[in-house]
Amino acid sequence: MSWRAFLTDRQNPLSGLKPLELSWDALGGPQDAVLGLGTPSVSFTALQSWLGCGVEIYDPADRLAWWGWVEKVSQTFGATRLESSLEDLANRAAVRYRSMEPGKDFGTLTQTAWKDEPTSQAFYGIKERLIHQDLLSEQQALLLRDASLRRWALPSRRLTPSLTSTGIRVSCRGWFGRMRWRQWQAHTDILGHSPAQQGFQALGASLAQSFTPAEAGSLAALNARIRKIGNPQDSLRFQIRTDSLGQPGGAVLAEAALPASAISGESYAWVSLWLSQPCPIAAGQQHWLVILRDGAAYPAAYYSLGVDENLGFPGGKLLLLDASTGQWKPRSPEADLLFKLTMLSDSAELMARVAETAACFSGFDYEAGSGFSLPYVSESGLDCQEEFLRLLRLGTPSLENLLAWVTPKRRLRVFTMPEANSAEFWLGKDGRIKAGDGRNLETPWQAVGTWLRSETGADCFVENLRLHIPDQSYRLRTTSVDYVPSA
């Protein structure tokens, strides 16, 4: 029995197509595959219908060795080659640009709404593309988005010169690569309002600024822009309170004290307070940041906080406590407090969210214990694979490296990199992977993501293996060296 390839969406093998080259990587599992057929037996239209279909490849012992999907097909006719690929396809598009609109929005980085092509999405799945441009008007950006979507919604046919013999080639990708089809939206765990200061507010009894987090999280730090006038000696207390009918409630969720010595008397500056324990904050519920003095108000020695009288924070309001009545009242003129709240996210939960956004896996399993708790800020313009790998490289709190692997059932697993003393296989002097009995390993791809003992006495970690099936040769990429086994 020889190597065989199947479309998982079809009942029959790939019309006699034979695997030619396969690769696996420690970050993701099956990586690339090339299938071929010397004598064309199917039409190019039939080949093109395979694009996006799942693929499974079995070795001569009928063991599942590789799994993924069809990305490109090509057919050679004499000196020309006809090919079609999903690499350039996109059926959901948006444009990110700097606005040319006159007024205060000029030069502002903005993004159009996403637009979909449902017919293409129904056939191939959703593949997004974010188009980056410089200065555009809103109308220009929308026209560019719509025109690009019409051009990219279906795979095009391309005719190119060919120097190879007549035949068919089918290029496949592992499921981990499918993460690149979806964009990861920019995200920050820093909430609040921090434009240029436009005004100040002397702190009397206390003041409160409301905010409503869009996502749940753990609050770790509080920031405000403050200076002291004169020489006040009492501390400031920062509290996070629940809401009660549009005003600060009585329940204090978190509290931290700021001594007078930590506040500048020369100018307004950002001060930061870290909570002794992170405070859980619910999503979609209004909360209040309350700032109050431990001592009594004194006209010659007080604290002043920076505010924004341009009202640039529509998600909240600033209230002042009238000490004589005990009632909260709006400031006049109205303003927003300059403040920042630092939340903490769990890296394992973030990876799960990225995997869910990629929408190409049947599930996600984190098998490395606890993740990192960190203030999370992601860049804009990254696809899901780029962001997932960025999180994966953080490792674990105990400084262990992480690996990822997509199972045949398309579950994305994350687990710790095995220790060097866990090696089950050998790397022989001939560069071939050996089983424990010293014979060449029949399934060398099983060594990807593991350590190899070496006859030279140095262990190495297998990052990647590329197998050339016709002669069963392969190339290894290890932690620091490429190995090409001798014949």
Kindly list the domain boundaries of the chain, sorted by start residue.
4-87+156-181, 93-139, 198-337, 344-416, 420-483
b/e per residue 225-258 (b: at least 16 CB within 10 A): bbbbbeebebbbbbbbbeeeeebbeeeebbbbeb
Query: Which pLDDT does position 186 carry in this prediction?
Result: 80
Yes or no: say if 425 and 434 are a contact pair by the CB < 8 Å rule: yes
In sequence order, which residues have a C-beta less than 8 Å from that of residue 478 and are 6 or more positions away?
Answer: 452, 460, 461, 462, 463
Q: Number of helices (H) and strands (E), helices first, in the chain?
A: 5, 37
Look at residue 217 in the predicted model and tell me its pLDDT.
86
CATH assignment of 344-416, given 3.40.50.20, 3.40.50.10800, 3.55.50.10, 3.20.20.120?
3.55.50.10
pTM listed for this prediction: 0.86
Say how far apart CA 309 and CA 62 lie, in whole Å.
72
Cα-based distances in Å from 428 to 184, 288, 307, 368: 43, 65, 69, 31
pLDDT of residue 9: 74
Q: Residue 105 is which amino acid?
A: D
CA distance 256 to 237: 6
Angle, nearest 10°, between helix axes 384-392 and 347-358?
160
Cα separation, 207 vs 272, in Å, equals 18
Cα separations in angstroms, 128 against 213, 326, 477: 27, 54, 32
Q: What is the pLDDT of residue 484?
A: 59
pLDDT tens sequence for the chain (487 residues):
689 998 887 555 555 788 999 999 999 999 999 999 866 667 888 889 999 999 999 999 999 999 999 999 999 887 888 999 999 999 999 999 988 876 656 678 889 999 999 999 999 999 999 999 988 999 999 999 999 999 999 998 899 887 766 688 999 999 999 999 999 988 888 999 999 999 999 998 799 999 999 888 899 999 999 999 999 999 999 999 999 999 999 899 999 999 999 999 999 999 999 999 999 999 999 999 999 998 877 888 999 999 999 999 998 999 999 988 889 999 999 999 999 999 999 999 999 999 999 999 999 999 999 998 888 888 778 999 999 999 999 999 999 999 999 999 999 999 999 998 888 899 988 889 999 888 999 999 999 999 998 877 778 899 999 999 999 999 999 986 555 555 4
Write out the two tokens for 74: 């090509």
Those residues with Cβ within 8 angstroms of residue 324's Cβ, 6 or more apart along the chain or in another chain: none
364 to each of 24, 182, 206, 217, how far by Cα in Å?
Answer: 20, 17, 47, 21
Give me the phi and psi of 28, to 5 degrees please: 125, -25
Give domain 198-337's CATH number out of 2.60.120, 3.40.720, 2.60.40, 1.10.472.
2.60.120
Give Cα separations from 477 to 31, 87, 416, 463 (angstroms): 14, 26, 19, 6
Residue type, 436: G
